[in-house]
Amino acid sequence: MAPHPQQSPSLRRTVLGRLSLASVAGFAFLLSACTSTPKPTPLTAEQRELNLQSIDMVHARIKQRHFDPEKVGPAWDAKHAEMRVKVEQAKSMPEARAAMSELIESLQQTHFGILPADAYEGTESEEPSTGDKTTGDRRASGEIGLDLRRIGNDAVVTHVEPDSPAAAAGVKPGWAVESVDKRKVAPLIARIDKLSAGKTAAPLVAATMLQTLAHGEVGTPLDYTFRADTDRTVRVAITPVLPIGKAQKFGNLPTMYLKTSRRIVPPGVGVFAFSIWFDPMKVNSELEALLNECTDCQGMVIDLRGNIGGIGAMAMGVGRYFIDKPDQKLGTMIQREGKLNFVLNPAAKPYTKPVAILIDEVSASTSEIFAGGMQDLGRGRVFGTRSPGAALPSIVEILPNNDRLHYAFANYISFKGQTLEGHGVIPDEPVAPTREALLAGKDPVLDAAVRWITAQSASGSPSNNH
Amino acid sequence: MKLSAASNLLAKSLLASLVLCAGTARADEPAKAPAAPAAAPAAAPAAEENLPAAKDIYEKYLTAIGGKDKLKAITSRQMVMTVEIPAAGMKGTVSMFQIPPAKAYSETDLAGMGKFMQGSDGEIAWDSNPMSGARILSGKERETFMRGMRFDSEWNYEGQYKEMKTVKTETIGDKTAYVVEMISNEGNKETRLFDKDSGLLLASRATATTQMGEIPTETLFDDYREVNGIKMSFKQTAKMMGNEMKTTVDKAEFNAEIPAAKFELPADIKALKEKADKPATDAPAENPTEKK
């Protein structure tokens, strides 16, 4: 029998990779608590020493660079001393990492975390997946090509990737996952609630953990049971393939995968979606193509649902297409050494018609910087559910034990002065998807945005977003 | 162009663009009225007893890197460099071309980021990358950029800085350096540290003016080698906003022929210039984004 997704080490690699940008505090620890891993190998004296060097580097680096010196004062030093003892006494890498994660988690902020070295194994393929399970690195964890969100007490399919294994299996939006390889999902949801309760950016943590149900070992079928339309039960085996999208290798981050889509929906609204803020050339060119195809459109939708962030500066790169005046900014990054403004330079042919931005509880980091800034500028009306409030500029460094330290070095304030961290972006029009609407083939969030754009067009106020 | 600081301008913009998640920039401040051309730097007395005059230190430096005559005779320079931000695990390559007095073109390619281009046709300074788009530099940012790109700024320091003074000595690694404070004609302060023994430039400190804000920068210069009779630093480390960027010169050549087309304005910059040159009556009467 195939390993349950919650038990797959490779699954953990993928999820950590997917989440590394948001790097929710303590997430690695949470996830390991949610999975049963093989018996860990005892540490050698050398590994123990490297772990001690690593926790010292974690302490020193964050103390040196945290944007709020008060956060890393005597209490931070004391916690380091306490956790250093635990690292010294740790009998395995997971124990050592747990102690380091506990130190980091004491900050109670996003974008701080330990990424295990094994999260980088088998994720180095630079080739986009063709969906062919027989090619590529089979050690790499795979996906079946659907997005899941918590709706009520269900894990509901909100999006099925075209040409994916899930699409081939006939899975539809609105279906609820009941079990994977005969393991019931309901207890997992309850456990996620318990583990994520009270955590920083808990909705993001929970949503990302839920998403693990759509991942598994490449080439190994998973037996899914869905509650489909009219509550009939559908049982289907779906085989994960290599991650879908264009592989992105950026600095010390694990390989990430960029998916983009552009389309025009009735009565003439452009919709541009992308999964992560990487590969600015690709994202910019896809957006430019849509703007060129959509010159007669009534407006544009930027769909950032499920987009966990990426390169912060790309928010400026995309935002500049929608402003026609210089000297506007999305917000300001504040670090110990000074402040930097996220400035927008108008594109040569700026788009001046209405712009709607779609977000959800997974739209983190750069997605929040973009959505919050455009909202503040009055140049984008935001639809969906509140974003997680995980928006600290950060960096990933390699630790002596070869794990990676993800840490924030700056705070970010939106144009109107709102701290995004811990608050998130509040939609102008809160709209949550419902299972019934998804089953009916509708997308309530997108539909609301299209209605607004159409109304704007009819009222003759092309860019009035409020 | 300051020979020892060949990649420094680029490093500033890149580091701001990449690690700090920000685009390269244009001055936030309005352009200052041009300063009157300075004659010789004011002959400020040394601030501490027994410190040599700043002008003497600078002249020693010019001699150490090959002498004014060789610097004046430069007709072009091209370099290939590797830039690295070790903490972020990022690496890229830079190609840079320059001809006097201030024509320049550089292209930086970083994995996952695309191409960052900067240049000057001698008058118009420009910048283009996927984050900030194409733009023409103006104000203080342009002034700083153009001064940095000027070939004569190294040897013709008397025409570039209105004030220079030696303020103290400082230890850098195992070397002792004279610390010289320099005020440019535009009023920008720069501090340079020259090796007491060899006369070579060991470090510089300044605040970079970018569109995103002011970025205090320290650059360390190391590994001086001779190229066509001129000494230049092959390893530089720029520290700014808590981040560090290393630049290594892989190849450098003086006085080779560079096609003039290399310094022509790119099409998108030309379009921006044409747009800026259009009479104001062509501009839209109202900005619809401001409607409420």
Q: Do B289 and A313 touch (CB under 8 A)?
A: no
DSSP character at residue A159: E
Residue A204, pLDDT above cutoff 50: yes
Which residues of chain A make contact with B20, given a CB cutoff of 8 A?
313, 333, 340, 393, 410
Looking at A187, A206, A238, the residue that finishes a domain is A238
Q: Is the pLDDT of residue A18 over 60?
A: no
Inter-chain residue contact A338 with B216, CB threshold 8 Å: yes
Which residues in chain A touch residue B289, judged by CB atoms under 8 angstroms apart?
323-325, 352, 377-379, 463
Least CB–CB distance from B133: residue in A320, A379, A461:
A320
Report chain B's mean pLDDT, rounded to a whole number: 81
Residue B155 in any domain: the answer is yes
B272 at A interface, C-beta within 8 A: yes
Query: What would the DSSP string read from start to end of A337-352?
Result: TEEEEEEE---SS---
pLDDT band at A351 (very low <50, low <70, confident <90, very high): very high
Query: Which carries the bigger pLDDT value, residue A446 or residue A423?
Result: A446
Q: Show residues of chain A in contact with B14, CB under 8 Å.
A: none
Instruction: Tell me the shortest Cα–Cα distance from A70 to chain B, in angstroms.
Output: 18
A306: nearest Cα among A407, A197, A204:
A204
pLDDT over 80 at A9, yes or no: no
Q: Percentage of chain A surpassing pLDDT 70?
A: 85
Q: Is B100 helix (H, G, I), strand (E, B) or coil?
A: coil
Is any Cβ of chain A less than 8 angstroms from the Cβ of B87? Answer: yes
Residue A70 located in a structural domain:
yes
Q: Residue type at A338?
A: G
Place of tokens 């390699």: A398
Q: Which two tokens stand for residue B3?
A: 């020979």
Residue B13, pLDDT above cutoff 60: no
**Does the CB of A279 have a partner CB in chain B at under 8 Å?**
yes
Q: Which two tokens stand for residue B13?
A: 């913009």
If you average pLDDT over residues B220-239, what whole number do you get?
95
**B271 interfaces chain A, CB cutoff of 8 Å:** yes
Query: Hey, is the C-beta of A409 within 8 angstroms of any chain B C-beta?
Result: yes
Helix (H) or strand (E) holding B12: helix B8-18
Residues of A in contact with B27 (CB under 8 A): none
Q: Is residue A443 part of a domain?
A: yes
* Whole-number pLDDT of residue A203: 81
pLDDT of residue A38: 54
Quote the domain boundaries for residue A383: 259-459
- Residue B52: phi and psi, rounded to 5, are -70, 160
Using a CB-CB distance cutoff of 8 angstroms, which residues of chain B are in contact with residue A377?
Answer: 289
**Contact flag A340-B89 (C-beta cutoff 8 Å):** no
At A256 the pLDDT is 87
Distance of residue A303 Cα from the nearest chain B Cα, in angstroms = 19
B283 touches chain A (CB under 8 A): no
Residue B15, chain A, CB below 8 Å: the answer is: no
Question: What residues form DSSP beta bridges with A237?
Answer: A223
CB of A312 within 8 Å of a chain B CB? The answer is yes
Q: Is A337 on the interface with B (CB under 8 A)?
A: yes
Contacts of A252 in chain B (CB under 8 A): 88-89
- Tell me, yes or no, whether A21 lies in a domain: no
CA A300/CA A294 separation, integer angstroms: 9
CB contact under 8 A, A251 and B132: no
Residue pLDDT, tens place only, A231-281: 899 999 999 999 889 998 888 888 889 999 999 999 999 999 999 999 999
**Amino acid A19: pLDDT:** 37
pLDDT at A165 over 90: yes
| Model confidence, pTM | 0.83
The partner residue sitting opposite B88, judged by closest CB among A314, A348, A395, is A395
**A136 located within any domain:** no
Instruction: Please indicate, yes or no, if residue A275 is contained in any of the structural domains.
Output: yes
Q: Exposed, middle or buried, B155 (CB in 10 Å: 0-12/13-18/19+)? A: buried
Residue B292 domain-assigned (yes or no): no
Contact call for A325 and B287, based on CB within 8 A: yes
Check whether B47 has a pLDDT greater than 80: no
Please indicate whether, in this complex, the C-beta atoms of B133 and A251 are within 8 angstroms of each other. Answer: no
pLDDT at A448: 98
**How many Å apart are CA A285 and CA B272, to the nearest integer?**
19
* Residues A63 and A166 grouped into a single domain: no
Structural tokens at position B162: 């209105």
Q: Is position A251 within any domain? A: no
What is the per-residue pLDDT for A132?
A: 36
Q: Could you tell me how far CA A439 lies from the centroid of its own chain?
A: 25
Q: Does B289 touch chain A (CB under 8 A)?
A: yes
Mean pLDDT comparison of A52-56, A190-194, B27-31, highest-scoring range: A52-56
B148 assigned to some structural domain:
yes
Q: Is residue B94 part of a domain?
A: yes
**How high is the pLDDT of residue B186?**
81
CATH number at residue B182: 2.50.20.10
Q: Which residues of A touch B132 (CB under 8 A)?
A: 316-317, 320, 343, 345
How many other C-beta atoms can be found within 10 angstroms of the C-beta atom of residue A342? 27
Q: Is the pLDDT of residue B239 over 50?
A: yes
Residue A214: closest CA among A13, A38, A11:
A11
Burial bucket for residue B257 (CB in 10 Å: 0-12, 13-18, 19+): exposed
**CA distance, residue B25 to nearest chain A CA (Å):** 8
What is the enclosing helix (H) or strand (E) of A178?
strand A176-180
**Closest chain B CA to residue A354:** B289
pLDDT at A433 > cutoff 60: yes
State the CB neighbour count (10 A cutoff) for residue A95: 15
* CA gap A461, A463 in Å, rounded: 6
> What is the average per-residue pLDDT within B86-97?
91
Q: Are residues A61 and A145 in the same domain?
A: no
Range of the domain at B104: 3-27+37-271
Mean of the pLDDT values across residues A395-407? 90
Last residue of a domain, one of A181, A209, A238: A238
CA B41 to chain centre: 21
* Helix or strand (DSSP H, E) at B60: helix B54-64
Instruction: Establish if A8 belongs to a structural domain.
Output: no
CB contact under 8 A, B288 and A352: yes
| B180 backbone dihedrals φ, ψ, rounded to 5° | -115, 125
Same domain, A159 and A102: no
* Mutation site for A-interface testing, chosen from B127, B287, B289 by largest number of A Cβ within 10 Å: B289
Cross-chain CB nearest to B89 (options A393, A398, A409)? A398
pLDDT at residue B191 is higher than 80: yes
Query: What's the structural domain count of chain A?
Result: 3
| Token pair of A2 as six digits | 């195939």
> Omega before B101 cis (within 30°)?
yes
A99 with A190, same domain: the answer is no
Contact by Cβ (8 Å): A446, A266: no
pLDDT value, residue B38: 36
CATH number where A362 lies: 3.90.226.10
Take residue A125 and report the two structure tokens written for it.
């393929």
**Contact status of A202 with chain B (Cβ, < 8 Å):** no
- Res. B60: pLDDT tops 60: yes
Tell me the range of A80-84, B210-214, B215-219 where mean pLDDT is highest: A80-84
Of B20, B112, B272, the CB nearest to A340: B20
Q: What is the pLDDT of residue A136?
A: 38
Query: What is the mean predicted confidence (pLDDT) over A219-230?
Result: 94
Contacts of A280 in chain B (CB under 8 A): 113-114, 130-131
| Distant-in-sequence, close-in-space partners of A420: CB < 8 Å, separation ≥ 6 | A331, A368, A369, A372, A387, A389, A391, A412, A413, A414
The pLDDT tens digits for A88-139 are: 999 999 999 999 999 998 998 888 888 888 765 543 333 334 333 333 343 4
In the predicted structure, residue A140 carries a pLDDT above the cut 60 = no
Q: How many domains does chain B have?
A: 1
Taking an 8 Å cut-off on Cβ atoms, the answer to whether A464 and B112 are in contact is no
Position A220 scores a pLDDT of 93
Position B99 in a domain: yes
Angle between helices A27-34 and A185-196 (to 10 degrees): 150
**Is B61 a domain residue?**
yes
Provide the strand spans (E) within chain B. 42-43, 77-85, 90-99, 103-110, 114-121, 125-129, 133-136, 161-172, 175-184, 189-195, 201-210, 213-227, 230-240, 243-254
Of B26, B90, B214, the CB nearest to A338: B214
Nearest-angstrom CA–CA distance, A189 and B97: 59
CB–CB contact A284 B130 (8 Å):
yes
Are A229 and A265 within one domain?
A: no
pLDDT, tens digit, 9 for 90 and up, residues B255-268: 999 999 999 999 99
A460 in contact with chain B, both atoms CB, cutoff 8 A: no
CA separation for the pair A305, A272 (Å, rounded): 11
DSSP secondary structure letter of residue B38 = P
Q: Which of A66, A343, A344, A461 to mutate to test the interface with B (most CBs of B within 10 A)?
A: A343
Q: The domain that contains A166 carries what CATH number?
A: 2.30.42.10
Give the pLDDT of residue B39.
39
Residues 26-85 of A with CB under 8 A from B: 64-65
**What b/e readout covers A178-208, taking b as 16+ CB neighbours within 10 angstroms?**
bbbbeeebeebbeebeebbeebbbbbbbbbb
* Residue B290 resides in a domain: no
Tell whether B89 is within 8 A of chain A (Cβ). Answer: yes
* B189-195/B201-210 β-pairing: antiparallel
Q: Is the pLDDT of residue B27 over 90?
A: no
Per-residue model confidence as pLDDT tens digits over B133-163? 999 998 888 888 888 888 787 888 888 899 9
Share of chain A above pLDDT 90, in %: 63
pLDDT at residue B280 greater than cutoff 80? no
Asked if residue B277 belongs to a domain, the reply is no
Residues of A in contact with B213 (CB under 8 A): 338-341
pLDDT digits (tens, 9 = 90+) for A23-43: 333 333 333 333 344 567 889
